[in-house]
Structure 1
Amino acid sequence: MSRFAALVEVRLRPGIADPAGTTIERSLPALGFADVTGVRTGKAIRLEVEADDADTARSRVEELCRRFLTNPVIEDAEVTVEAAS
């Protein structure tokens, strides 16, 4: 078994309202960032998993996303897996 570091980036699906992103975007011109648009928020989850190989680790993390970390109706998740240091 090897240890793998995983990063799960969760974001709202296109077309789903993002009130936090809207609030941030409305505040930006007052801070001198009028040229920034399309703000969307999300969350990043870092974890480590023990598995025989990277593909198995990715499958386990994707299963964790489907069962617990995301709401598949409104959220998408991108999983990155690499050998843990």
Structure 2
Amino acid sequence: MKFNIEVKISLKNGMLNPEATTIERSLDLLGYKVSNTQTDNIVKFEMEEESEEKVEIEVVDMCERLLCNPVIHDYEIIIKEEI
């Protein structure tokens, strides 16, 4: 079966996010008042595998080993079976 995978990677609460701080300050200079700005990364890919459970196990391993730093990042995995 073919699966579409989306991994959303974000900084854990309390981690400094200089990119978000820069965006917030720049928007303020343009006259927009925003707060609690966050930035996330999204990685999308396809996989062929026997089951969704196997895909999830493999994608968690990918996240822990390469896609993010589990010390500072949280991640959310969305798996959809291709029809």
Instruction: For structure 2, list consecutive stretches of 5 or more residues without a partner in the other structure.
Output: none
Given candidates 51, 54, 73, the residue that maps to 1:53 is 51
Instruction: For structure 1, list consecutive stretches of 5 or more residues without a partner in the other structure.
Output: none
Which aligned runs of 4 or more in structure 1 are off by greater than 4 angstroms?
Answer: none
Distance 1:84 1:12 in 2: 29
Alpha carbons 1:3, 1:51 under 8 Å: kept: yes
**Match for residue 63 of structure 1?**
61
**Match for residue 33 of structure 1?**
32
State percent identity of aligned pairs.
Answer: 34
Distance 2:48 2:27 in 1: 42
Tell me the secondary structure at the aligned position of residue 29 of structure 1: helix
Structure-2-length-normalised TM-score:
0.90
**Match for residue 17 of structure 1?**
16
Q: C-alpha displacement at 1:83, in angstroms?
A: 1.1
Report the AA paired with residue 50 of structure 1: E
- Please give the root-mean-square deviation of Cα atoms over the aligned residues, in Å: 1.3
Distance 2:71 2:30 in 1: 34
Alpha carbons 1:48, 1:84 under 8 Å: kept: no
